[in-house]
Structure 1
Amino acid sequence: MTRPTAQQIIEALDLAPAQTCGYVRVSYANDVRLAEGVLPEPFQSARPLGTALYFLVAPEAPVKLHRIRNDQLYHYYSGDPLELLLLMADGTSQRHTIGPDILAGHEVQLLIPGGTFHTARVAGDWFLGGSTEWPGVVPEDVELGDADALAQRHPDVAELIRTYPLPRS
């Protein structure tokens, strides 16, 4: 079997361009809806109990610097490794690689704690993964990052932050 192209995967999974992470399709949103005000801050708006999505990252469609309020669990499905930079709320940072080579230290799942700014780039042609979130994500949960402000808060990786794809206004 020959390796599919990114475009073939995008078409097969019906993925669409996304503001924060390449191409995306929400694959699941729980039918159980949490009513407004049921959850503590910052999850005051109504939302599904949980959500899941597919995402494809390519050099021309990267993961931009962003955070969501919700915990996210990234999953590796296919393709090349994804190199992530996590900017933790306490001022520390973490680097992870999600990919197929477990023996080389790749992870096939990675928890990104809610409120963690992160960005990523593919180490190759394309990465296909998934993300599950709880509680479910709604648009106001997503925030694009300010690279300059985050570089000040994380001076140990300030230059590295700028090597990753940055959000555009």
Structure 2
Amino acid sequence: MVQNLIHQYNLLPHPEGGYFKETYRSAESIPASGLPLRFPAERTFSTAIYFLLLKDLFSAFHRIKSDECWHFYEGDSLNVHVLHLDGTYELIRLGKNREEGEVYQAIVPAGAWFASETSGEYSYVGCTVAPGFDFTDFELAKAAELKLEYPESASLIERLCRQ
């Protein structure tokens, strides 16, 4: 099943962990003058990807400069760990088990640190970013620095960081 998803959708390894495929990039752009100062150049209106996480893999803590909307498609539920700018922790559970508090969509706000992991064998989800994603807006966390900022989440940070 998982190998079929990777093959059918031409998924590639993602730098943060897992597999991805960009499925949409708006043909139109917002000029830098129309964006908040955190964006150094123009950005497309929006981008979207497929994202696959497998058992024993994780998406390492990272942040981007845009809001990111997560969408659940199939497989096991996905745990998205969010460290908000105000210092609070939030666990978002993407999945189909509404009775257990899982949701089909959720937003990770711009600037928040976040990591994700599947609760089972695999999770197949999508992410939509607006303004559109650009790798210059991507920052992979360093565990030592992140633990200083969020000491109460130190064990989670150590487990879900690569540096």
Is the TM-score greater than 0.5? yes
* Separation in 2, partners of 1:21, 1:137: 17
Aligned counterpart, 1:58: 54
State the Cα distance separating 1:99 from its structure 2 match. Answer: 1.1
Unaligned runs of 5+ in 2: none
Write the mapping of 1:1-169 to structure 2, written as runs, cut at 5 A.
5-164=1-160, 166-168=161-163
SS of residue in 2 equivalent to 1:10: helix
SS of residue in 2 equivalent to 1:94: strand
State the Cα distance separating 1:148 from its structure 2 match. Answer: 1.8
Moved more, 129-138 or 54-63: 54-63
Return the TM-score normalized by structure 1: 0.90
* Separation in 1, partners of 2:63, 2:17: 11
Give the conservation status (yes or no) of the 8 Å contact 1:67–1:144.
yes
Q: RMSD across aligned C-alpha pairs, in angstroms?
A: 1.4
Q: What one-letter code is carried by the residue in structure 2 that aligns with 1:160? A: L
* Separation in 1, partners of 2:129, 2:67: 6
SS of residue in 1 equivalent to 2:103: coil
Identity level (%) = 29
Return the TM-score normalized by structure 2: 0.93
Give the conservation status (yes or no) of the 8 Å contact 1:22–1:55.
yes
* Separation in 2, partners of 1:13, 1:129: 12
Q: What one-letter code is carried by the residue in structure 2 that aligns with 1:155? A: P
* Separation in 2, partners of 1:19, 1:128: 17
1:117-166 per-position Cα deviation (integer Å, ceiling 9, x unaligned) = 111111111100001111001110100001122122112221122233x2
Give the conservation status (yes or no) of the 8 Å contact 1:76–1:109.
yes
Give the conservation status (yes or no) of the 8 Å contact 1:70–1:133.
yes
State the Cα distance separating 1:45 from its structure 2 match. Answer: 1.1
Unaligned runs of 5+ in 1: none
* Separation in 1, partners of 2:31, 2:88: 35
